[in-house]
């Protein structure tokens, strides 16, 4: 697949259809691919990689490029990434006419840290062939079944469908029945005290870096309120373990109704905090209260928090509903 | 004040009131000499939809035990649609706070019109009693802002 | 060499904890390890690295420096420091131990940071030699011997035995204090493990990177002006994860909080040069683009710091940024891109 994609992209470079491409650049290992800008077909031919570790969602990088640079940019989007793209388009953060999208097919991505946890840290290379992942280590070759090392977010993949593209490699996929709210439901069925202690354990690991926010394709403010000294909520200093509370609630709230559930926040968290559960809780609530809505599905439907209905439920429903303890 | 009232827990309650209905409602409660608990501190906002979720969390961080948002009845918003947005936002926010294990009775939204002075007092009394019953807020408190 | 059976480890910990505070890496619920205060039942994690480095013990992520109490025109400064109990950090890897030296160069030089020094004086470091380095490790590049780490006491874990060797006076005193725990045994297994580990380290992919041109004043301007900075930083999201997991990043910010009763609490916390709101003391951040901020971080570690500190690089090769960066950009890629001139 990689060679076909490169071949086609080189054609586009040569026909001057595009002037740059944003893709995944070869790293020192198979798994440490750096989202990067390719400015020539030579560079792309030599360094572009599309494999099981091309997990990074490239849509957010288009904001900076399409605002500042001239000429058409090519971007490679997996199915989940296309939702983020649509969402950015809807909010006028990127210009569609300056972007050429190649939709790339996505099986599940693999999680390097799961592989390392299972087979050791001395990994030299990883490759996946069908259902088996073969890993070269300093200790020799080892194998593990693919199903054990799939990225968490891909285990609850919501859609294999590319909602927007100019060109698509592979076959058109379908929206899946993902069961992605199962974990949220488990939490909802706990007692409040149990939920509190769950989140306390999780959030107390937060190191206060901003990876979850900065990688998020929906977090696109020029200046985040948490970076603004004058906002009064700048969050650099925490003195107890649970002060990240506010940041995480507001981070999730600010993308409520706009989050496409791409799962980048949890993927990049250095402490493996399941941040996507906060986002999914909002999505689940929105579906329940205001009808099913998938951000990025199309660019016409207004996001749930930017519209209303005269007969909406009252906030007191939080106290009276029966499906949450 | 009776001895009992002095020794029992006195919560700090922040009430965000919209300028056009609820604040006028509070005013009416005052002119009618209707009592409502002194625990309630009112913050006037132009419209209930001016209340950013950050305000609510900030109030809790800085030591509030309960936060209530009051606005015009749906359909009566001075700015036509403001309180409809409030309703959606607060429903989601409160649900999230519940998801994090924060007590449900610490937050509330009530629609109080300018003519409902009596109701304003009733709502505040009821809310204050609810918060009294669950005790001081510990889960969302910011230790930095606490004097020794 | 002094030895201890693995089965006696918990007893040893309990004994230390009776007299001091003991911190050590323990596996958390995600299966990664993190430093925590030992309590009965905690198992020492032999994982190669903790997510966060050990710098927090000396250079705190956030600390209350002092309070100010205002009474009309009088301002009272209240020292909020509490007496620190003697503490022991167990199981610090060679790279993290080296990072303490790098922080010392900053915080113990005149003017001495008394907050830092206070903690340094009260802490005792028991390091742990590595036996299974990861392919993302490159401490050998900075002349760190992971098989024989520094610290007050160095330790090895060979099969079900722990070996200890005190290196400093403080270490000697500690060993003396707890001498009833140890037996004296032959150190051959340690030598054997060292040899095997060094053999692995030799085969690690990044231990022989070309460092030529870094840390030299003559080349400073040339490296600063290299066009590669632009491409390397083009997708840097400026999140600061690298600086927070880094054992040698040492920048801090000062924040005041108005308590509301006329007093102010002043805090110091970690800061990151990757942030747009970094170094705002004179009006604004002088580094306007992410490229400039990105360059600053690596120039500091690879050029500025060694120029000021006799050629010691501001990186210890722990490999944390290689694992944690959300866009997989890291110091190794920078060295590779810049070092081939």
Whether residue C263 and residue B144 make contact (CB cut-off 8 A), yes or no, is no
Give C267's contacts in chain A (Cβ within 8 Å).
237, 239
Instruction: Dump pLDDT digits (tens) for C172-191.
Output: 999 999 999 999 999 999 99
Whether residue B145 and residue C267 make contact (CB cut-off 8 A), yes or no, is no
Residue B76 falls within a domain, yes or no? yes
Q: Is the pTM of this model over 0.90?
A: yes
Instruction: Give residue C341's pLDDT.
Output: 47
Whether residue B62 and residue C260 make contact (CB cut-off 8 A), yes or no, is yes
Interface test with B, best of A188, A254, A287, A308 (most B CBs within 10 A): A308
Cβ C163 vs Cβ C2: under 8 Å:
yes
Residue B9 falls within a domain, yes or no? no
Residue B31 falls within a domain, yes or no? yes
Q: Is C249 left (phi over 0), alpha (psi -120 to 50) or beta?
A: beta
**One pLDDT digit (tens) per residue for chain A, 325 residues:** 899 999 999 999 999 999 999 999 999 999 999 999 999 999 999 999 999 999 999 999 999 988 877 899 999 999 999 999 999 999 999 999 999 999 999 989 999 999 999 999 999 999 988 899 999 999 899 999 999 999 999 999 999 999 999 999 999 899 998 899 999 999 999 999 999 999 999 998 898 889 999 999 999 998 899 888 888 787 787 766 666 688 999 999 999 999 999 999 999 999 999 999 999 999 999 999 999 999 999 999 999 999 999 999 999 999 988 776 6
d(C-alpha C256, C-alpha C272), whole Å: 18
B1 has a pLDDT exceeding 70: no
Helices A245-254 and B53-61, axial angle in degrees (round to 10) = 170
- Tell me whether B73 touches chain C (CB under 8 Å): no
Strands C183-184 and A20-25: unpaired
Instruction: Give residue C239's pLDDT.
Output: 93
Nearest alpha-carbon partner for A318 in B51, B99, B138, B126: B99
Instruction: Give residue A243's pLDDT.
Output: 66
d(C-alpha A22, C-alpha A321), whole Å: 46
Instruction: Give residue A83's pLDDT.
Output: 97
The H or E element spanning position C288 is none
Residue B6 falls within a domain, yes or no? no
Give chain C's length: 341
Cβ C56 vs Cβ C86: under 8 Å:
no
Establish whether this prediction's ipTM goes over 0.85. yes
Residue B146 falls within a domain, yes or no? no
Q: Which domain holds residue B51?
A: 16-134
Give C133's contacts in chain A (Cβ within 8 Å).
121-122
* Interfacial A residues in 63-122 facing C (CB < 8 Å): 113, 116-117, 120-122
Average pLDDT over residues B100-120: 95
Residue B1 falls within a domain, yes or no? no
> Domain extents for chain C?
2-67+82-202, 217-338
Give B146's contacts in chain C (Cβ within 8 Å).
259
Locate the chain C residue with the closest alpha carbon to B145. Answer: C259
Whether residue B147 and residue C267 make contact (CB cut-off 8 A), yes or no, is no
Residue B7 falls within a domain, yes or no? no
The H or E element spanning position C62 is strand C62-71
| CB-CB neighbours of C122 under 10 Å | 17
Locate the chain A residue with the closest alpha carbon to B90. Answer: A315
Least reliable range by pLDDT among A6-15, B121-130, C218-227, C274-283: C274-283
Nearest alpha-carbon partner for C86 in C115, C112, C118: C118
């Amino acid at each position: 697949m990689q060679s076909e994609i490169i071949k086609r992209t080189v054609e586009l470079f040569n026909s001057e259809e595009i002037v740059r491409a944003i893709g995944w650049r070869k790293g020192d290992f198979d798994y440490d691919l750096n989202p990067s800008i390719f400015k020539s077909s030579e560079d792309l031919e030599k360094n572009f990689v599309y494999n099981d570790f091309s997990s990074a969602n490239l849509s957010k990088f288009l904001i900076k490029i399409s605002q500042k640079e001239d000429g058409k940019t090519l971007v490679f989007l997996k199915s989940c990434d296309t939702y983020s793209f649509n969402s950015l388009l809807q909010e006028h953060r990127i210009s569609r006419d300056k972007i050429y999208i190649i939709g790339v097919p996505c099986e599940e991505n693999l999680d390097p840290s799961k592989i390392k946890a299972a087979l050791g840290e001395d990994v030299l290379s990883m490759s996946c062939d069908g259902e088996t992942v073969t890993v070269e280590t300093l200790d020799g070759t080892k194998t593990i079944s693919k199903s054990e090392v799939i990225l968490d977010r891909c285990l609850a993949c919501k859609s294999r469908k590319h909602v927007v593209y100019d060109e698509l490699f592979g076959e058109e996929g379908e929206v899946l029945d993902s069961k992605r709210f199962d974990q949220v439901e488990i939490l909802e069925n706990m007692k409040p005290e149990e939920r509190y202690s769950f989140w306390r354990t999780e959030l107390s690991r937060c190191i206060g870096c901003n990876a979850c926010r900065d990688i998020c394709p929906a977090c696109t403010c020029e200046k985040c309120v948490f970076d603004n000294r004058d906002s009064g909520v700048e969050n650099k200093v925490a003195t107890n373990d649970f002060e990240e509370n506010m940041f995480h609630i507001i981070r999730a709230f600010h993308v409520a109704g706009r989050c496409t559930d791409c799962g980048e926040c949890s993927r990049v968290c250095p402490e493996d905090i399941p941040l996507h559960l906060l986002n999914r809780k909002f999505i689940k609530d929105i579906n329940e209260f205001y009808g099913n809505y998938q951000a990025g599905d199309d660019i016409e439907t207004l996001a749930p928090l930017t519209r209303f209905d005269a007969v909406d439920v009252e906030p007191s429903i939080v106290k009276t509903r029966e499906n949450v303890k | 004040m009776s001895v009992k009232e002095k020794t029992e827990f006195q919560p700090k309650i922040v009430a965000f009131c919209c300028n056009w209905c609820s604040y006028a409602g509070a005013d009416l409660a005052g002119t009618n000499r209707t009592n409502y608990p002194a625990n309630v501190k009112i913050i006037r906002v132009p419209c209930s939809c001016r209340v950013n979720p950050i305000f609510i969390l900030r109030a809790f961080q800085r030591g509030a035990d309960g936060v209530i948002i009051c606005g015009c009845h749906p359909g009566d918003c001075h700015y036509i649609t403001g309180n409809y947005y409030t309703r959606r936002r607060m429903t989601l926010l409160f649900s999230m706070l519940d998801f994090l294990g924060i007590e449900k009775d610490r937050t509330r939204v009530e629609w109080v019109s300018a003519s409902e002075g009596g109701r304003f007092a009733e709502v505040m009394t009821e809310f204050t009693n609810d918060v009294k019953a669950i005790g001081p807020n510990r889960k969302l408190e910011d230790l930095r802002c606490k004097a020794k | 060499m002094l030895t201890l059976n693995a089965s006696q480890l918990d007893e040893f910990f309990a004994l230390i904890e009776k007299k001091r505070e003991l911190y050590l890496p323990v596996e958390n619920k995600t299966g990664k390890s993190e430093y925590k205060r030992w309590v009965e039942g905690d198992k020492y994690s032999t994982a190669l690295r903790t997510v966060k480095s050990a710098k927090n013990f000396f250079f705190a992520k956030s600390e209350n420096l002092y309070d100010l109490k205002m009474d009309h025109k009088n301002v009272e400064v209240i020292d909020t420091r509490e007496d620190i109990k003697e503490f022991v950090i167990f199981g610090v890897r060679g790279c993290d131990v080296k990072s303490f030296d790098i922080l010392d160069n900053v915080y113990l030089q005149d003017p001495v940071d008394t907050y830092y020094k206070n903690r340094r004086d009260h802490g005792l470091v028991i390091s742990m030699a590595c036996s299974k380095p990861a392919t993302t490790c490159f401490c050998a590049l900075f002349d760190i011997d992971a098989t024989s780490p520094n610290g007050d006491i160095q330790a090895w874990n060979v099969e079900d035995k722990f070996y200890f060797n005190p290196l400093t006076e403080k270490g000697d005193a500690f060993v003396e204090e707890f001498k009833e725990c140890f037996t004296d045994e032959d150190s051959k297994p340690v030598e054997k493990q060292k040899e095997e580990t060094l053999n692995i380290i030799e085969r690690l992919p990044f231990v022989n990177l070309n460092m030529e041109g870094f840390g030299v004043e003559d080349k400073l301007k040339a490296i600063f002006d290299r066009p590669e900075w632009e491409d390397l930083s083009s997708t840097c999201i400026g999140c600061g994860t690298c600086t927070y997991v880094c054992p040698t990043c040492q920048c801090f910010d000062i924040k005041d909080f108005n308590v509301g009763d006329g007093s102010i609490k002043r805090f110091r916390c970690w800061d990151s040069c990757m942030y747009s709101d970094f170094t705002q003391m004179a009006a604004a951040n002088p580094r306007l683009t992410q490229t400039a901020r990105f360059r600053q971080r690596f120039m500091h570690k690879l050029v500025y710091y060694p120029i000021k500190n006799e050629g010691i690089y501001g990186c210890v090769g722990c490999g944390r940024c290689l694992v944690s960066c959300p866009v997989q950009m890291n110091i190794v890629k920078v060295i590779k891109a810049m070092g081939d001139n």
